[in-house]
Amino acid sequence: MANAAVAFDNLVDLEDTAMSANNFILQAPPANLVNPHVGKKWRDNATTTYVMASTTGSNSIDTIMLAGVSGSVEDIAPIFRVRLSTVDPTGVAGDALDTGSLSGLPYFDSDYGMFVYLLAAPVSATYIRIDISITGTDYIEAGRMFAGLRTQFGTNFQTPWSRTPVRGSINVVGIGGQTFVDARRGYWQIGAHFDFLSVAEREGFIDQIAIEIVNEGHLDMLWIEDPDSDNLSRDCVWGYLASDLTATQNIYIDPAVFSAEFNIRQRL
């Protein structure tokens, strides 16, 4: 098991990044892949399509995600292909990266609806293209895209840690004692405690996350429980910190060591 990682600096969200797709229906354009609500999706009524993020300049990328992927047919896994290009505005060249066809685990599990591809090392690219093919479907859609760099913790989280399926439904008990359920979708929540954060980590990416939360009021991020997972779709959560990120120095030693709690709530 590799140490957990987080990815939060999303190239897709930059003002100069342009979103495009092979096609889309009028009320579900590719711009929806930037919308914070995963349920507000881009859709193409086709069996084969693509989405692409065109950034400016050359950007380092080692993590790519599509959340809220749907349109799959039972027992038929979607086929993905990731291409990163430096100069080709169609993204077809894939001169920085061309994964070829990717299907099934560890990249996608229909139970979780998330496609995740992690590079072993960053590459520089301007155009980020993801092709999707699903045999026999009526449509293909996705709700959120991430492309950028991840940061891996130097020391992994400690036990106990938790992964909770939170029930979203509301129960109403009638006058006869019967329970009426207002069925609502649930969500995943992660609780992970890190006891050995270094000064560099506290002053680096922990502070970067904190600055964004303080200055902007919110920050979505990709939680990666295990980059070596055999099911990244299951072991990654696209969400946000549901509680304060407090970096605490528990004992006085030199160099200092800090602790912090990551409570990640999935975005829907």
Asked whether 97 and 83 are in contact (CB, 8 A), the reply is yes
Spell out the per-residue pLDDT of the chain, length 268, in tens.
Answer: 899 999 999 999 999 999 999 999 999 999 999 999 999 999 999 999 999 999 999 999 999 999 999 876 677 789 999 999 999 999 999 999 999 999 999 999 999 999 999 999 999 999 999 999 999 899 999 999 999 999 999 999 999 999 999 998 888 998 988 898 888 899 999 999 999 999 999 999 999 999 999 999 999 999 999 999 999 999 999 999 999 999 999 888 888 999 999 999 999 9
Closest CA to 83 of 56, 64, 57, 105: 64
**Domain 5-152: what homologous superfamily?**
Galactose-binding domain-like (2.60.120.260)
Tell me what pLDDT residue 267 has: 96
- pLDDT for 216 equals 93
Q: Does the predicted TM-score (pTM) go above 0.85?
A: yes
DSSP 14: S
Report pLDDT for 72: 66
Contact 234, 163 (CB under 8 A): no
Please name the amino acid found at residue 199.
Answer: V
Return d(Cα 102, Cα 90) in angstroms, integer.
20
Q: How many Å is the maximal CA-CA distance in the chain?
A: 68
Per-residue pLDDT at 13: 96
Q: What's the CA gap between 144 and 132, in Å, rounded?
A: 14
Q: Could you give the C-alpha distances from 127 to 55, 117, 118, 240, in angstroms and in order?
A: 6, 16, 17, 26
Contact 158/22 with Cβ under 8 angstroms? no
Task: Find, among 2, 22, 17, 236, the residue nearest to 115 by Cα.
Answer: 236
* Residue spans per domain, the chain: 5-152, 158-266
pLDDT at 250: 83
C-alpha–C-alpha distance, residues 13 and 243, integer Å? 23
CA–CA gap between residue 48 and residue 69 (Å, rounded): 14
Distance CA 147, CA 149 (A): 7
Are the C-beta atoms of 238 and 188 separated by less than 8 Å? no
Q: Give one DSSP letter per residue of 112-169, joined into a string.
A: TTEEEEEEEEEEEEEEEEEEEE-TT-S-EEESEEEEE--EE-SSPPEEEEEEEEE---
Say which DSSP state 226 is in. -
DSSP 230: S
Give the torsion through C-alpha atoms of 25, 232, 159, 3, to 10 deg: -120
pLDDT at 73: 67
Q: So what's the pLDDT on residue 84?
A: 98
